[in-house]
Amino acid sequence: MTSPSPAQPETGASDRPRRRPSTRTLVAVGVLVSLLLAGIGSFYSSALPDGLEFVAEQTGFADSAREHATADSPFAEYATKGVDSPRLSGGLAGVAGSVLVLVIAGGLFMLLRRRDRVPPRRGDGGG
């Protein structure tokens, strides 16, 4: 048995063109992955203070901090108000934030997308 030469490609099931996933499938998978990362990955994020809090503690002005206007909001401090479990509370806050970003980004995309479709002219109906 000889191997096929470059002029004679090997035949078989791998010669069929592969179907590309649809845009809808790619978007659905992307949304699912982002929600999973937000819901599950948020529990494993660092509990250490962020950069601004760290610098405030190091320089000694952390004690002068005041509550901000949205401190009583449902998702303040990366948690969900009224949920006792820290894991579930952080996960719900992450999912809610991701959904909000996806809705805003999707809305902007739909609003600003290019519309190449030209409306049919009168008389082109073929009727």
pLDDT digits (tens, 9 = 90+) for 16-75: 788 899 989 999 999 999 999 999 988 787 777 678 888 888 898 888 888 888 888 888
Using CA atoms, how far residue 27 sits from 59, 99, 104, 126, in Å, is 45, 13, 15, 37
Side chain identity at residue 70, one-letter code: T
Give percent above pLDDT 90 in the chain.
Answer: 32
Domain extents in the chain: 80-114
Q: Per-residue confidence at 2, pLDDT binned at 50, 70, 90?
A: low
**Whole-number pLDDT of residue 99:** 94
Closest CA to 53 of 43, 45, 63: 63
Torsional class of 59: left (φ above 0), alpha (ψ -120 to 50), beta (otherwise): alpha
Torsional class of 42: left (φ above 0), alpha (ψ -120 to 50), beta (otherwise): alpha
Sign of the Cα pseudo-torsion (109, 112, 114, 118, in order): positive
Q: Is the pLDDT at 120 greater than 70, yes or no?
A: no
